Structure 1
Amino acid sequence: MPIWKRNLFVCWFGMFVTGVGMSQLAPVLPLYIKHLGVDDPDAIAQYSGLAFGVTFVISAIFSPIWGLAADKYGRKPILLRASLGMAIVVFCMGFAHNVYELVGLRLLQGVITGYGTACTTLIATQTDKEHSGWALGTLSTANVSGSLLGPTIGGFIGENFGLQNVFYITGGFMMVAFVTTLLFVKETFVRQSKKAQSIREAWRAVPEKSLTLTLFATFFVLTVALYSVEPILTVYVNHLSGGGSHVALIAGITFSASGLANIIAAPRLGKLSDKVGAHKVILFALAAAGLLFIPQAFATSPWQLMALRFLFGLASAGLAPSVNVLVKKITPPSLTGRVFGFNMSAMYLGAFGGAVLGGQAAAWFGIRYVFYLTSALLLANAVWVYVKVYRKLQRVPSA
């Protein structure tokens, strides 16, 4: 088996459990905060939002920093640091004595992040051009599916094994990711530039700034779309089911439907981008994903919503791998880690922004308007990609 393919499988597992670790707290957070001694419902809501959001905001700040370190010292050391650090921090959350310790540990979790950035950089630089779309497509399913399945996994563990065991079990999986990374990831790292560059200097050296920013924005919008329904999905499913039983389970399955579709479609769409061009796949995926959000607002049963979420997952699966393929193509090898770090920052900000958008839009306008607004955002981004990316790369035969 080629080294890049073995590294891909190890990184996939590590990114999956990292994605789970970042998002698994969502369904158990209010219950755990109450367990830590907070009884006021308004205070529980405030601390839940803070504890959930702070990790993504801090991760957005530190991802480019760890990308710089990956370019300077190699990707494997960053993988080992991130997986071991997150294993310890997440495990310690189960021992928190009060809500302040929990929020502090979530903040520290955001600082320690960097596994996804280093994995993406490692696979992008090791994989040949003919297989880069498939490899990055396969890798993209790990973080997306981990983030989408995380709330369901966290809720299942919390309900069947206890709230604290959510952190112990997730921390244990991250320790497994550390051990597999240590034993099986192989990297022969040679620095492309002997002179250390700051993040600002590195950005000045990026040759296609406008195109790169458009790709960052696309990754941001994709993540906003994935997370915009998170605050309102359970309430919406409860409304569609008429207050029936097993609402939490049905909501978890509905939320995870797009993650399952992503796992199925992303490698295939990544392979397609190798053949027809990543810019074509991005444009089609944005338009299809934007259109598929509209009928979700008109669903009349949870099963209709579940099917539409699955179709949305199939369409959106082409975005992340195609963005990463284009970022790799237009970025000099010496800057790959830093640029992918900025790309991961866009993803983390999108996760936070999507949750805020969904909650605020539902509160101000109603639940169905969350789907309208997200659809408009995706379709507007499709128009921007057509102008800034598609028309430019369509003129380049090798794009």
Structure 2
Amino acid sequence: MAFSEIMPFLSLYIGSLGDYSKSQVTMYAGLVYAADFFVSAISAPLWGMIADKKGRKLMLLRASFGTAIAMGLMGFATTVWQLVALRALQGVFAGYISNAQALVASQTPRKHSGAALSTLMTGVTSGMLLGPVIGGILAQLFSIRLTFFITAFLLLLTFVLSWIFVQEKFKPVPAKPASEKSLNPLAAFPKPKLILVLLTSTLIVQFGNISISPIISLYVKELMHNVGPITVVAGIIAALPGISNIFASPRLGRYGDKHGSGKVLIFGYIFATVMYLPQGFVHSVWMLGILRFMIGISDGALFPEIQTLLTKNSPIELTSTVFSWNQSFQAIGNMMGSLLGGWIAGIFNYNAVFISTAMLMLINLAMIWWLVPELRHTKLRPA
């Protein structure tokens, strides 16, 4: 909820920091979004190795406290470049959700990991649902700056709750003898090609999703002809995928555990392609809202099932490592999506971003279909 409070309005906040044209705002928004993800992509593998040696709970405390400080400082920013620097600082401390996923995955029986991770994701999507609505109302009543301070408070609260209530039965990963170490980081995985395809899929899915985030409030503003409570409506539109995701994600996770996560994943790509494409051709916020609501179903099929397949096909002692890689690929997708999403919107228009996202989902589906055909034929056994 803390992160989603400010994400839909970051582009509007940038517009308030200077006298910028439409194309400048979209391109600056892409840069601001990308700064966090660029740094996160570099730092995530390091944090993953430390988590496997020191524990995942420590990483939860590090991430929540560090991002609280960065978020609070963003409320004092007076220039775009200060905002870029603080977003980069946030990237250094990123990783609360990925470490929570690694903690749950490492302490849940593998045959139930799909249901467990999908249930955990309802916390993420519930926050995605509540954050933009609360942030939109606060931005309308007070100011966008206030949402940064509330975000910092929520993250400090998360730090305290994690410190007191999260328990972890952690066993450090023993160091391998030098003679057993391999230069190939995928050598320890029974299905390295599958792991690489899943990590690439994370990048592509996140690329498509995040390319829309910098422009969604601007798209709503255009559809509303700059009249009415734009921040409130933008917050509601941004939250709608979370509503359907809350109901769809646990059910799809249980179905995947019984019938094969690969089948759920393929359904997610087909459904996402069908739902993203018409978003580029809508003429009202009502139609956009309906289609954004449906996107929550595809998100409930894609993100949890990729993580479930990574969990089921990774050695348990490398759980944090593989989730840190997943975070890095996600961060790279975030960075590329932010930059290219703003660039596409600035050169063409907002609708081009939705059309390009639909094409990306189709390309990712083709990649999985041809490179790992076992996903559509069999139920993969846990490693």
TM band (smaller chain): 0.7 to 0.9
Q: Which amino acid aligns with 2:194?
A: L
Superposition map of 1:62-141 within 5 A: 62-96=43-77, 100-141=81-122
Question: Which residue is 1:258 aligned to?
Answer: 241
1:23 aligns with 2:4: no
Structure 2 residue corresponding to 1:323, chosen from 281, 306, 315: 306
Specify the code of the residue in structure 1 equivalent to 2:311: K
Pick aligned residue for 2:35 from 54, 69, 74? 54
Say yes or no: does 1:192 pair with 2:170. Answer: no
CA contact (8 A) 2:313 2:381 kept: no
- Whether contact under 8 Å (2:269, 2:302) holds in the other structure is yes
Distance 1:203 1:149, change over 3 A: farther
Greater relative CO, 1 or 2 (CA 8 Å, sep 6+): 2
Alignment TM-score, normalising by the size of structure 2: 0.87
| Structure 2 residue corresponding to 1:299, chosen from 270, 282, 286 | 282
What per-residue deviation string (whole Å, max 9, x for no partner) do you get for residues 169-202 of structure 1?
Answer: 1111111101111111111111232349999664
Q: Does 1:181 align with 2:181?
A: no
Choose from 270, 273, 287 the match for 2:253: 270
Residue type at the aligned position of 2:57: K
Find the counterpart in structure 2 of residue 5 from structure 1.
none
Structure 1, residues 326-364: CA drift from partner, whole Å, max 9, x if none?
Answer: 101111122111111111112222223223333333333
Structure 1, unmatched stretches of 5+, are: 1-15
Q: Could you tell me how far apart the structure 2 residues matched to 1:188 and 1:298 are?
A: 51
Distance 1:199 1:292, change over 3 A: farther
Label 1:200 to 1:151 Cα distance change in 2 as closer, same or farther (>3 A): farther
TM-score (norm 1): 0.84
Q: Which residue of 1 aligns with 2:354?
A: 371
Give the aligned residue type for 2:168: E
Number of residues of Structure 1 aligned to a counterpart in Structure 2: 379
Distance 1:248 1:285 in 2: 30
User: Displacement, 1:49?
Assistant: 4.1
2: CA distance, partners of 1:22 / 1:99: 15
Match of 2:318 among 329, 335, 348: 335
Unaligned 5+ runs, structure 2 = none
Match of 1:208 in 2: 191
Moved more, 53-62 or 231-240: 231-240
* C-alpha distance in 2 between matches for 1:295 and 1:30: 28
Which shifted more, 177-186 or 340-349? 340-349
Q: Which secondary structure state, in structure 1, belongs to the residue aligned with residue 212 of structure 2?
A: coil
Is contact 1:27-1:154 (8 Å) kept? no
1:249/1:79 CA distance change after superposition, 3 Å = same
Residues 376, 266 of structure 1: alpha-carbon distance in 2 compared, 3 angstrom cutoff: same
Distance 1:162 1:389 in 2: 49
Identity %: 36
Residues 68 and 153 in structure 2, CA contact (< 8 A), matched pair in contact too: yes
- RMSD over aligned CA atoms reads 2.9
Summarize the Cα distance change of 1:66–1:153 in structure 2 as closer, same or farther, 3 Å threshold: farther
Assess if the C-alpha contact under 8 Å between 1:27 and 1:151 holds in 2.
no
